[in-house]
Amino acid sequence: MTEQFDFNIDYHSLANTDELKVHHMALSLDVDFDKQQLQGSVNLLFKRLTNSTQLILDGRDLVITSITGTDGRRLEFSQQHVNELQGEKITIDVGTELTEVVVNYRTSKEAQGLQWLTPAQTLGKQFPYLFSQSQPVNARSWIPLQDSPKARITFSAAIQVHNGLRAVMSAANSAKMPADGLFTFEMEKPIPTHLLALAVGDLAYGEVSERCAIYTEPAMLEKALKEFEDTESMIVAAESLLGPYPWERYDMIVLPPSFPFGGMENPRLAFITPTLIAGDKSLVSTVAHELAHSWTGNLVSNATWRDLWLNEGFTTYFTNRLVEKIYGKEQADLEWVIEYGRLQEEMQSMPVESQTLPANVQNQDANDSFNRFTYDKASMFVHELESRLGRKAFDEFLFNYVQHFKFEAITTETFVEYAKQTLLVEHSSVLSEAELMTWVYGEGLPEWFIPPTSTSLDKVKLALQQFSEGVNATKLTVADWRVHHWQFFITQLPFQLNQVQLKDLDMTFAFTESQNAELACDWFRVAIRNQYDVVLPKVTSFLSEIGRAKFVKPLYSELLIAGYLTEATEIYQQARSGYHPSLQVQLDLMFKANS
């Protein structure tokens, strides 16, 4: 019998947001690099929605020393570890009158949402570094709070730093350095808790435009400013589609290579991986993606992790529109086809029942919701809506959708109901309810779906055909290829290649030596599955220097599948300390399953 779920409930949170709902928090934290901990307090202001006398918060590996009212009177509380997926349940007796509590606490070294880097693990090699990663459910490991995307909050913060380093947050930041090391922040617009972000390090500051700047280690700043110099143009393009930018500033911080994602859309301070700095702007669509989230994901957000597709599907589509506007239709079409290729690959390995837009992860790790279906299948759905309605009518729908739900967290069912009242009423001649429901709840892709194409890839397909027929790599015509052509070429190579073919490709195109992380990872996967051991030293270096989950998890998986258990284990033992704690947890499970 299939387990029944209430889709209005966030099964990854233990908090009682439907009874007492926190709406603002005031953080006061001291950053201690020697102990690798944050210590201080958080004031939580809440609204009473029922007569409940208990405020329930989420936590994970937190040391709570006391909880009081604002008058200093101690409150009774309990702290119970529930399970690994949800963490700890913090229950506070608040009686019938209180609307604010003060939690005094400190974090532990096990905090999955914080990574503490030694000076040796940074680019400058002189100063330590701290950064957070709250998404999906790790804010609770550095702040006791109602850690659910449906619990949007405003916040203020005072962060004390002692060693002359700079602190920045997902809030209003200042380029000035306070003499006493006390940094203050304010976020007056309600955001989901997974967008709470903090970084502390030797951070230089450089402006891209009047409302966009970059923070990063000094040695990285010039490269970052050059790579991301088109960001203001992206903001203007986005505004032309979805209205004025709603967060005042769009600043970015380029983090150390151990940051586990390509980017993280924290409002006013997007976190960006340095692996995007390829020197030719070929990977900046990730910046466009994080910017697009400013509307779809930050302004309108998912209510639970089942509903992640509402963030990522619309944002992936919106990213493609930005790329088209800034870099042209050929580039946008190339990226769309590659996106479809990623989806096709995952369709081969993902159970069919999991190939729906909603990620049915209610009793699974919230990280499992980040798959190609919540991103790329959802994007294909939005692309089809545009095709059916026509761009002008679709843009009007998208604009109205964002304005209707701004600063709200919604479920899949909320979206479906809205679509029934708008799309199916105004555009019934081109879209039926059955087609809508097939896209949202159906498995795989609808039978009528027509995949994206790009004539720009004809020359790549010709080269692939010639190579598979025995033509040497040196004879292939590749002179005018872009990075995306190379991506398509590598990912579409025959699954099985012999050593002569692999050496021919590598000697001709120097794939093993590629400085583009995307191309290198794609090539390493091809080489590993075909036992081309020449790449193993480079794979070892790559996995030891880069902690981006998009690259790290597939490479370890390929090594394990191809029978390199000993080599993979040795690499992981060497590299593990440099990975973000949240990634360590996922990789530990992978190796345990293969031991």
Give residue-wise pLDDT tens across range 277-308.
988 888 888 999 999 999 999 999 999 999 99
DSSP E strands: which ranges in 170-211? 182-191, 198-201, 204-209
53: exposed, middle or buried (Cβ count in 10 Å: 0-12, 13-18, 19+): middle
Residue of 518, 585, 574, 570 lying closest to 115 (CA atoms): 585
- Write down the catalytic residue from 205, 215, 250, 375: 375
Which ranges in the chain are annotated with CATH 1.25.40.320? Answer: 455-594
Residue 2, pLDDT score: 52
Our answer to whether residue 579 is catalytic in this structure is no
Residue 65, φ and ψ in degrees, nearest 5: -90, -35
Residue 291, pLDDT score: 95
Residue 1, pLDDT score: 37
State both tokens at 231. 């960001």
Q: Looking at domain 203-294, which of 3.30.2010.30, 1.20.810.10, 3.30.200.20, 2.30.40.10 is its CATH number?
A: 3.30.2010.30
298-to-30, 278, 301, 311 alpha-carbon distances in Å: 28, 27, 6, 8
Structural domain 12-195, CATH architecture: Sandwich (2.60)
For the chain, residues with pLDDT lower than 50 are 1
| Cβ count near 325 (within 10 Å) | 18
Distance CA 126, CA 184 (A): 25
Alpha helices for 5-136 (secondary structure H): none
Residue of 401, 343, 411, 334 lying closest to 374 (CA atoms): 343
Residue 4, pLDDT score: 84
Its sign, for the CA torsion 109, 110, 114, 116, is positive
Beta-carbon contacts of 193 under 8 Å, excluding residues fewer than 6 positions away, are 134, 139, 145, 146, 147, 148, 149, 151, 152, 153
Helices 309-327 and 412-421: crossing angle, nearest 10°?
A: 60
Residue of 213, 36, 193 lying closest to 111 (CA atoms): 36
- Write down the catalytic residue from 88, 217, 227, 290: 290
Which ranges in the chain are annotated with CATH 1.10.390.10? Answer: 300-441
Residue 390, pLDDT score: 97
Structural contact between residues 145 and 42, judged by C-beta atoms closer than 8 angstroms = yes
| 455-594: CATH number | 1.25.40.320
State both tokens at 374. 């919540």
Our answer to whether residue 375 is catalytic in this structure is yes
Which ranges in the chain are annotated with CATH 3.30.2010.30? Answer: 203-294
Structural contact between residues 409 and 301, judged by C-beta atoms closer than 8 angstroms = yes
Side-chain half-sphere CA neighbours of 451 within 13 A: 13
Superfamily of domain 300-441 in the CATH hierarchy: Neutral Protease Domain 2 (1.10.390.10)
Which ranges in the chain are annotated with CATH 2.60.40.1730? Answer: 12-195
SS3 state of residue 39:
strand
